[in-house]
Amino acid sequence: MKSNSVFHSIQFTDIDGSERSMAEFKGKYVLVVNVASKCGYTTQYKPLQQLAEQYADKLVVVGFPCNQFMGQEPGSEAEIASFCEKNYGVTFPLSSKIDVKGKEMHPVYRWLTQKEKNGKESNDIGWNFNKFLISPEGEWIGYFGSQTDPLSADITGKIR
């Protein structure tokens, strides 16, 4: 099976408990970000929302809350959703809390971080707000660390 067909087959549970599929986003770029509410990079929610709005016709941002880095996402799904909406006006999809590393790593992160699955590159998630850009066809385009501003040309320059 080709790596791009694999990406669009990955399922996740959204922050409200509904089952979702990456297949919903076929035909659009997808920026996958592991997020946390109590991190020094939490302010990136604002440019992530701007990016989602600015490129709404061709890009979907999907946030995956994770509490694996110094307990910086301790809240419940309801608390996370409320925090994101109230403080940053987040309207892009958020998942339920997941693991982005280790033996309980979510399937989307297995695909994103393992070359044998994505066909391009392996990456370790070392902190919150790591970003992965996926093409409209489901192909892995690039990895961007926590320090990369979501509105940077490194990311926007790859959205055609």
Task: Report d(CA 68, CA 160) in Å as an integer.
Answer: 33
> Is 66 considered catalytic here?
no
> Of these residues, 10, 30, 39, 90, which one is catalytic?
39
SS (H, E, C) 61-118: EEEEECCCCCCCCCCCHHHHHHHHHHHHCCCCCEECCCECCCCCECHHHHHHHCHHHH
- Taking each helix axis as running N to C, give the angle between helix 45-54 and helix 77-88, from 0 to 180 degrees, rounded to the nearest 10: 70
- Contact 112/118 with Cβ under 8 angstroms? yes
Distance of CA 70 to the CA centre of its chain: 19
Active site residues: 39
